[in-house]
Chain A
């Protein structure tokens, strides 16, 4: 290996690492607020990339129908719960309207716009509008009524949600893989190392999101309130913090970050309905490196995973995944010396 190959591999690793960093910060964010280890984060990434791909092809993406389905399910659940509590019909209707308005609008927009091949920016925005509302809906459907359960039960729920979302991905997108065109085709070359415009966009978005998350949780009152809900739900409620709203908000952010990562990764690799799981797990490696708590460490871990992956695929391409996932063992060893405290819970 010479320096130029190392440069190419390094750049490749950092680019992938930036995507894993986005996944990792979503995972840290959801865990910090709700104690949910959000295994299905990768599915939102795949949904983002595939929704964009179908819009490119001028087809109505399956996520539009899925969003509608989820919103209807939530509306039905809320209506049933409200009816049991004997709420007036007017309140029930208002609640259903609140649940359905955005998803119905997004779906209608997608159906109307898709065959008219709008510009890439509009397609990207439409993708975000279709995938982001799935976050709070998933929270309502799977997690909300179990929000006080142990981390372990919430993790098992996450695995169930992952199964369901992967299966629906197969139903709505089929088994075919897609690769999207770049948002920015510029190339900047230094000798053999070429930096693509797409990679620059990826870096900029990752760094901006991580810095804003870090500042939000460390420097603002709202961010601290959200962290408090994870540490002590009852206490946070007594202080007037709505744990339910906190959960909804964190899942909205997670789905948004997921869809955004999907848009970013779509042009760099072929995405299938089940690609999200591996991407999500690599984000997990980074999140575990950060002890599921620290945003800056998650970034460091994610770049590390990206670099291990790119150099691993150069030296032993068949064992790329083996190398990446075995790297968790030294990370765990290190963490086991860092976190000696949390034994009782």
Chain B
């Protein structure tokens, strides 16, 4: 089974002890970490823990990138190199403060990561890792050959970090900085993933839904993926900055491709799907590496980095037998309970002004789509008036789903125009169409299985909320977040699924999942709702429940366009029906007219000769 698929099932919450117990446990861990250097522990412990913290900081970025976003990078060590060399150069050659060095390192890293991400993230997933391999080699040889950076000897005598006269020269003091940074970064990531941008990030992994659904919810997936790459790079640069001031010197070797690969190894070993797996992976690799580097050269009789053999083999074995890494084995024993949601009294989100009933809402004129020589949609005209339910029907291969994808901007048009409330919308990307009040569901349900039903529905509020990644990390987004969750809960109530809101979406039946998709679309406060085969695969009672919900939505003033196969379902529900056959418009009319039409009957059942 693919790594990502296993991931999706690995992070299921288990009910048990309360949320509070987990928080208390975390506080206790932080306390132990904080007081450790004050205790008479051996210096070697502190040294090892310092490296574990530095490695974990880099690995956290890979958890976000690989585990959450389904991307990967072998260049994290190179980003750490930028952080380290920036402060080392400014400190040793120009005598500037380490804090300026930090700012410079982060700025250079951000620019480079933006450029690399912008170049590669539009293309399929393997270009980013390949680009990071090439660029980290380029950077390594640059560091090793520039006179200004001391060539392969590097820069010596990096000044210690000082803060208000307190010097972080000793290792025991650097420890606080390193672990403070690592834990803060971990908490920031946990918060980010539980927020407006975080929900979309978790939906991005191609094995959990891909980009079509988040785009339909109005999110620019490209920008979010670049953002994730930049965050990962900045975490690496921060680690490099700390590393330079811990070692008090820098040279190119810890920033080469071998370390870039080792960081990925840490992430995979610890558990690429969980923030705390980064710490587990960093600790395990650091501790075994120390042992192996002593043991293996003695075994083979010469020096050399033989530990890569063990790492390589273990990496393959982990991917094969424990693709979600080792942290989930620990996670299983930790209390996990649903977070108490105090959003019941949150004010509602702003609603858009709705069109007057009877006005033309959506109009397609001479809609055309050709795939090479095949004309899938041939000059189709179609209109939806406000407050109506329009059905789009036709036999298999009639071009219904293609029409649907043309209206929602998923596919580009070959010809024709689409107008929404007097504005031309053809040629716009699907997120821009979503912004104008068109929301949709998918024929193949696209929920994020490892998020709760409530979180999935909250994805629909993306366009009605504004909090960014920084606000999420600083938790200044909570007021808005409560409003978004309140809205999601309200929509679940509207479709009668409020009891399931804390379930994982992947655990629901197909019928319930289709209803959740409708709730998610409703959460965007649409003027027009497009439903792609909402009744497909549903049992009879589920269909009746769905029809009741749709009728109720119409009663509340919403307009719907639905593509459907099931005749009974469509006939009993719609105000008008558009029939397609072989890509062309066969007829349009009231359900009774369509039912009576011999052409429609012929199209579905064939003709008698």
Q: Which A residues are closer than 8 A to B by beta carbons?
A: 37, 141-142, 145-146, 148-153, 155-157, 159-168, 170-171, 174-175, 277-278, 281, 284-285, 288, 292, 318-322, 325-326, 328-329, 332-333, 335-336, 339-340, 342-345
Contacts and interface: CB of A to CB of B under 8 A. Distances in A.
B204 to A, nearest CB: 11
Contact of B212 (A152, A155, A339, A344): A344
A170 B306 contact: yes
B312 A37 contact: no
Contact of A153 (B71, B133, B142, B323): B323
Interface of B: 2-4, 66, 70-72, 74, 115, 119-120, 122-127, 129-131, 133-135, 137-138, 141-142, 145, 206-207, 210-212, 257, 261, 264-265, 268, 300, 302, 304-316, 319-320, 323
Given A159-B74, A161-B312, A344-B206, A281 B133 contact: yes
Interface centre among A37, A151, A332, A336 (most CB of B within 10 A): A332
Given A159-B74, A342-B124, A170 B304 contact: yes
Nearest to A159: B261
Contacts of B314: 160
A171 B142 CA distance: 30
Contact of A336 (B4, B123, B268): B123
A150 B6 CA distance: 12
Contacts of A292: 126
What is the interface of chain A mostly: helix, strand, loop, or mixed? helix
A271 to B, nearest CB: 17
A163 B134 contact: no
Contact of B261 (A37, A145, A163, A319): A163
Contacts of A142: 316
Given A150-B2, A171-B300, A160 B131 contact: no
A156 B318 CA distance: 11
B311 A336 contact: no
A153 B138 contact: no
Contacts, number: 162
Contacts of B300: 171
A325 B2 contact: no
Given A281-B134, A325-B137, 5 more contacts: A163-B315, A167-B309, A171-B306, A328-B130, A332-B127
18 contacts: A149-B2, A152-B72, A153-B4, A153-B319, A156-B315, A159-B261, A160-B311, A160-B312, A160-B314, A161-B312, A163-B261, A164-B316, A170-B305, A171-B309, A336-B119, A339-B124, A340-B123, A344-B206
A321 B305 contact: no
Contacts of B319: 146, 149, 153, 156-157, 160
Contacts of B126: 37, 151-152, 155, 292
B268 A156 contact: yes
A328 B131 contact: yes
B75 to A, nearest CB: 11
Given A155-B72, A156-B264, A157-B319, A167 B141 contact: no
B265 to A, nearest CB: 8
Nearest to A287: B130
A162 B133 CA distance: 13
Contact of A332 (B66, B74, B119, B211): B119
Contacts of B127: 288, 332, 335-336
Contact of A325 (B135, B206, B264, B312): B135
A305 B255 CA distance: 24
A287 to B, nearest CB: 9
- Smallest CB-CB A-B distances: 7 pairs: A163-B312, A164-B312, A167-B309, A160-B315, A325-B138, A342-B124, A318-B145
B315 A174 contact: no
B325 to A, nearest CB: 12
A332 to B, nearest CB: 5
A167 B312 contact: yes
A335 B123 contact: yes
A292 B210 CA distance: 22
A210 B155 CA distance: 47
Contacts of A148: 2
A288 B122 CA distance: 15
Nearest to B264: A156
A171 to B, nearest CB: 6
Nearest to B4: A150
A97 B391 CA distance: 65
A279 to B, nearest CB: 12
B315 A159 contact: yes
A285 B131 CA distance: 9
A290 B216 CA distance: 32
A37 B268 CA distance: 18
A321 B141 contact: yes
Nearest to B126: A151
A166 B308 CA distance: 8
A22 B14 CA distance: 53
A333 B119 CA distance: 6
A145 B315 CA distance: 14
B211 A344 contact: yes
Given A163-B312, A171-B300, A339 B123 contact: yes
Contacts of B305: 167, 170
A144 to B, nearest CB: 10
Contact of B130 (A168, A175, A284, A319): A284
A290 to B, nearest CB: 12
Contacts of A165: 312
A149 B137 CA distance: 28
A340 B212 CA distance: 15
A70 to B, nearest CB: 12
Contacts of A163: 261, 308-309, 311-312, 315
Contacts of B3: 149-150, 152-153
Contacts of A342: 123-124
A161 B309 CA distance: 9
Contact of A164 (B70, B71, B257, B309): B309
Contact of B2 (A153, A167, A333, A340): A153
Contacts of B210: 344
B309 A343 contact: no
Contacts of B211: 343-344
Contacts of A345: 124-125, 206
Contacts of A168: 309
A23 B300 CA distance: 31
Contacts of B133: 281, 284
A141 B70 CA distance: 25
B315 A325 contact: no
A172 B307 CA distance: 15
Contacts of A318: 145
Nearest to B137: A325
A342 to B, nearest CB: 4
